[in-house]
Structure 1
Amino acid sequence: MSEQAKPASRLERTLGAVERIGNRLPDPAMLFVGLLVLVWVLSALLSGLDFGLTDPRNGEPLRVSNQLSGSAMAAFLSAMVKNFAHFHPVGVVLVAMLGIGVAEHTGFINAGLRALLSVTAKVLLTPTLIAVGILSHTAADAGYVLVIPLGGVIFYAAGRHPLAGIAAAFAGVSGGFSASFVPAALDPMLQGISQAGAHILDSSVQLNPLNNYFFTASSAVLVIAVGWWLTDKIVEPRLRATALDGDLSDLPSMQPLEAGERRALRGALVAMLLGIGGLILSTLPESSAWRGPNGSLAEGGAPLMRSIVPLIFLLFLLPGVVYGIMAGTVKSSRDVIEGMSKAMTGMAYYLVIMFFIAQFVYAFAQSNLGVLLALEGAAVLKALALPAPVTIVGIILLTGVINLFVGSASAKWALLAPIFVPMLMQLGISPDLAQAAYRVGDSTTNIITPLMPYFPLVVVFCQRYVKNAGIGTVAAMMLPYSVTLLVLWSAFLLLYWSLGMPLGLQASYTYPG
């Protein structure tokens, strides 16, 4: 007598419904066409209304701009090419993929992963991948184009479901966006906005750029632990029923490296280490060209921070070519160009989606609908006058909701800080704590919104293994991470606060403090 199938749990049924509904949505490109039309219509309907709100960017009354007016449509058409050509995720992805494509085509990535898997305990694969995703925050958006696709390759090579690897990496890179062992450019960026918001009430407030560092470093441990458990116990078991039907012919297996491959890998790694060493040496002098106006390597305007993606291109191109020459997979320059061309071929669908996303983002920003959503939500929260811990949770939840529509962390905080920071200061809560609450909400819902510019890229990565993967597939994979992190990370912040553990350098919980 055959064993009866175990009935699906409520969670499995819920995630299955999310996947089915999400995958029934129009193609992502057409979804953004629909959203663009919706922005046009809403902006026209709301353009004549007075909301009684002040735009924090210019101090003037907030008005929704009608994007169906003649002048707005003319501006939209004249900016269409620029919107796409200058859309930040497009350049980031394509430049990085040129170098990665060569490294993959020559076999360097394949050999490197096989060598890595041979010395990594299988049980530690998930937490290691999430930790690497968190560490990628120091390299701007590099984690999206480097760590997430490698997550799928690594899991496949280890005999596990590749979509689970993509999910774990996505959780570390984006779901744990504000968790970091190493300071990143986002820290001083948010600190500057928080300080400007505090100056509305008290011009003497000075915040340290690492005012949240101890909390974000501790949060990294939480994100790894939560992501590890969810990947191995919830996400991957559910994915076992998802068949792989993509082109898997060029993916690595667990076969041991041959002598020639080992020799070529050693040569490639030496080339990579020499490149990294040369880069480090060039940053050491105080007069280094890599440093920003204030002499820092990590400040937002520093050439080093602006060059992260080109450096990734070079640091994969160089060892990829060296490996190919030594292994015999590169016999002429045409082989290098073929690797780049092959990588760009795989990006064709992504480019189509990015074209429409760029137009939507432009129209949404010009309409002021995102500003209206943020300010109305903040006004409601302020009017409720809830106890301080409840207000902190309210800020996290409101930020998480706004994050579904407005992707940029700095742009959202620039809108919310002038309201939240002074409001909480009047309740005796410091700008440091307000910023920490914002960072929790800003991180946890990144991974479930198709409006996040890199979300379609994750869909493309999944389609490499499962041809019919869509928005619903990724949303259902990531929903357990999003909800669990939102709840546990919020609770962690409240516990951290109640224990009086330091948020960061020169930070406090109270104002004045």
Structure 2
Amino acid sequence: MQNTNIEPQDTKLQKILDWIERTGNKLPDPAMIFFFSLLIIWALSWLLSSFDFSEIDPRTNAPIVVNNQLTGDALATFLANMVKTFTGFAPLGVVLVAMLGVGVAEHSGFINTGIKRVLDRTPQFLLTPIVILVAIVSHTATDAGYVLVIPLAGVIYYAMGRHPLAGITAAFAGVSGGFSANFVPSAIDPLLQSFTQSAAHIVDPAIQINPLNNYFFTSASSVLVILIGWYLNDKIIEPRLKKVPVDGDPEDIPQFAEVTHKERSALRWALAAMALGVGLLVASVWSESSALRAPNGELASFSAPLMHSIVPLIFLLFVIPGVVYGYLAGTFKNSRDVINAMSKAMDGMSYYIVMAFFCSLFISAFNTSNIGALLAVKGADTLRELALPASVTIVGIVLLTAFVNLFVGSASAKWALIGPILVPMLMQLGISPDLTQAAYRIGDSSSNIITPLMPYFPLVVVYAQRYVKGTGIGTLISLMLPYAITLLICWTAFLLLYWSFGLPLGIQSSYMYAP
């Protein structure tokens, strides 16, 4: 059989990628990383508690004191509060409530049919940007992009006489490379915000971070990701793939399944229900005396009930059309089916719950020991002495995140690990948590598509092997590397340009932090 690998296996790049894969595979599971981190924090708190530090705690204006977490009283408090610490972990409720709604929309078939209809009605010359757009929007349904959009893009490209791997890579770039770009608010927004706020409380316990603090920037970033992906796919990736024959077994190559008349009708009614729900929401907040507004009449204020209802609104945004579609399409026969859809969504969250348990204990110990505040102040003092421009510091955060992402694939696990260090440290330099989070999201997204440790990376390789048998990890990385490098450079430059114009990052967001 002809070797169709695009990247020779003995190149320096391949050796580097092999080293990254070997090193990353040796890392413990993220849940165990948090457990080991908890043990390290305990040991450090015991060691550092005997030292006097001159650094001033910005919360108390007194010298920082590291609290020993291995005393009898501290361990007793740890055990007594363990359940409360876990159940009070902010990201846990945020993710689970949002996923209950998304699960109904996904398992009813509403999301799948919607995506198929969009791609089915797309002209060929607009196929790539529409595929990337749909891939970006699919983030609202978490795994739907990986399990539906990516393989479906390969099917559609193949049906249109274009190379199927071009469709797969374009969709992969949108789903994973553009993970932090979206026009539609999704569960990732309040998830990251909750970690950011917990980290910011190390310096300022009173600070409030809006769940949509990066929404305007991520919306604008969607256009950037689509344009970059469109150019790279049609001008660089697909021409390069012309030399790669499609040699998959015909029986293994999936066929495009047409949407039935019943499904189309159900989709129309479900979209109408969604539009009606949005209309009722707009009508309910229109009046200045609306119960969803703050007492002073403001809609975007932190005290406005609407701002505290973002996650429940995401839940309703997916439940209502999901239920309507399910009953009309026949996927839901009774209320038990709706509950089963929610249960299936929770099945996929079991690992996250385990990780959240250890993560909550780690963050609690990190905060209680005051090691986080000490690292933040010392790190800020070091950066202040270097006198680097704020823009250079932000670029450094993007690059650091992109590098760490090669080893720790989970966005929430990664931000839970480095957020408590980066957020308070940059707050000490006057950089807001909103801007730090935006920089993190760029680095996290850009390198997603070139790390074999990303959970869905092997699945994308399998999709590609249906069409080109010789596809391997090196092949896929070589196809995705232009996307990763271009996104990293252009997206970072876009953030700096966006910042220079003073455009708002999101709702109630800022670029600079003033105590």
Q: Same fold (TM over 0.5)?
A: yes
Quote the offset at 1:408 in angstroms: 9.8
User: Contact 1:168/1:231 (CA < 8 Å) preserved in 2?
Assistant: no
1:128 correspondence with 2:136: no
Match of 1:19 in 2: 21
The gaps in structure 2 that reach 5 residues or longer are: 155-163, 205-211, 245-253, 405-413, 463-472, 505-509
User: Contact 1:56/1:415 (CA < 8 Å) preserved in 2?
Assistant: no
Match of 1:59 among 61, 73, 86: 61
User: Contact 2:101/2:315 (CA < 8 Å) preserved in 1?
Assistant: yes
Q: What SS does the aligned partner of 2:378 have?
A: helix
Deviations 1:275-310 (A, max 9, x none): 111111111111112213443322333222221221
Q: Separation in 2 of the partners of 1:339 and 1:149?
A: 14
Match of 1:443 in 2: 441
Match of 1:503 in 2: 502
Match of 2:374 among 368, 372, 386: 372
User: Contact 2:137/2:182 (CA < 8 Å) preserved in 1?
Assistant: no
* Aligned-partner residue type, residue 141 of structure 2: L
Deviations 1:199-234 (A, max 9, x none): xxxxxxxxxxx9999988766654555566788979
Q: Separation in 2 of the partners of 1:484 and 1:316?
A: 33
Match of 2:175 among 154, 157, 169: 169
1:146 correspondence with 2:152: no
Q: Separation in 1 of the partners of 2:127 and 2:133?
A: 10
User: Contact 2:82/2:361 (CA < 8 Å) preserved in 1?
Assistant: yes
* Aligned-partner residue type, residue 290 of structure 2: S
Q: Separation in 1 of the partners of 2:229 and 2:309?
A: 30
Match of 2:429 in 1: 420
Cα-Cα RMSD: 4.9
Q: Separation in 2 of the partners of 1:177 and 1:367?
A: 37
User: Contact 2:101/2:316 (CA < 8 Å) preserved in 1?
Assistant: yes
User: Contact 2:135/2:171 (CA < 8 Å) preserved in 1?
Assistant: no
Match of 2:153 in 1: 158
User: Contact 1:396/1:440 (CA < 8 Å) preserved in 2?
Assistant: no
TM-score normalized by structure 2? 0.68
Q: Separation in 1 of the partners of 2:260 and 2:228?
A: 38
Identity %: 44
TM-score normalized by structure 1? 0.68
Q: Separation in 1 of the partners of 2:130 and 2:365?
A: 42
Quote the offset at 1:34 in angstroms: 1.3
Q: Separation in 2 of the partners of 1:462 and 1:351?
A: 22
Match of 1:91 in 2: 93
* Aligned-partner residue type, residue 100 of structure 2: L
Q: What SS does the aligned partner of 1:303 have?
A: coil
User: Contact 1:400/1:444 (CA < 8 Å) preserved in 2?
Assistant: no
User: Contact 2:94/2:311 (CA < 8 Å) preserved in 1?
Assistant: yes
User: Contact 1:166/1:462 (CA < 8 Å) preserved in 2?
Assistant: no
The gaps in structure 1 that reach 5 residues or longer are: 134-142, 198-209, 241-251, 422-430, 451-457
Q: Separation in 2 of the partners of 1:408 and 1:32?
A: 8
Match of 2:363 in 1: 361
Q: What SS does the aligned partner of 2:60 have?
A: coil
* Aligned-partner residue type, residue 502 of structure 1: F
Equivalent residue pairs, number: 435
Match of 1:114 in 2: 116
Quote the offset at 1:123 in angstroms: 0.9
User: Contact 2:375/2:425 (CA < 8 Å) preserved in 1?
Assistant: no
Deviations 1:293-345 (A, max 9, x none): 44332233322222122122222222222122212222221111221122222
| CA 1:402–1:15: 2 relative to 1, 3 Å | closer
Quote the offset at 1:165 in angstroms: 4.8
Q: Separation in 2 of the partners of 1:67 and 1:229?
A: 54
1:290-329 equivalent positions in 2, closer than 5 A: 290-329=292-331
Quote the offset at 1:150 in angstroms: 3.3
Quote the offset at 1:397 in angstroms: 1.9
1:336 correspondence with 2:364: no
1:245-264 equivalent positions in 2, closer than 5 A: 254-264=256-266
Match of 1:455 in 2: none
1:102 correspondence with 2:104: yes
| CA 1:215–1:355: 2 relative to 1, 3 Å | closer
Q: What SS does the aligned partner of 2:81 have?
A: helix
Q: Separation in 1 of the partners of 2:261 and 2:216?
A: 46
User: Contact 1:299/1:305 (CA < 8 Å) preserved in 2?
Assistant: yes
Q: Separation in 2 of the partners of 1:354 and 1:509?
A: 29
Q: What SS does the aligned partner of 1:158 have?
A: helix
Q: Separation in 1 of the partners of 2:434 and 2:352?
A: 33
Q: Separation in 2 of the partners of 1:214 and 1:110?
A: 27
* Aligned-partner residue type, residue 415 of structure 1: P
Match of 2:393 in 1: 394
Q: Separation in 1 of the partners of 2:379 and 2:481?
A: 23
Match of 1:36 in 2: 38
Q: Separation in 2 of the partners of 1:494 and 1:344?
A: 39
| CA 1:152–1:76: 2 relative to 1, 3 Å | same
User: Contact 2:131/2:171 (CA < 8 Å) preserved in 1?
Assistant: yes
Quote the offset at 1:443 in angstroms: 3.5
Q: Separation in 2 of the partners of 1:231 and 1:56?
A: 49
Q: Separation in 1 of the partners of 2:215 and 2:114?
A: 33
User: Contact 2:373/2:424 (CA < 8 Å) preserved in 1?
Assistant: yes
* Aligned-partner residue type, residue 169 of structure 1: V
Q: What SS does the aligned partner of 1:307 have?
A: helix
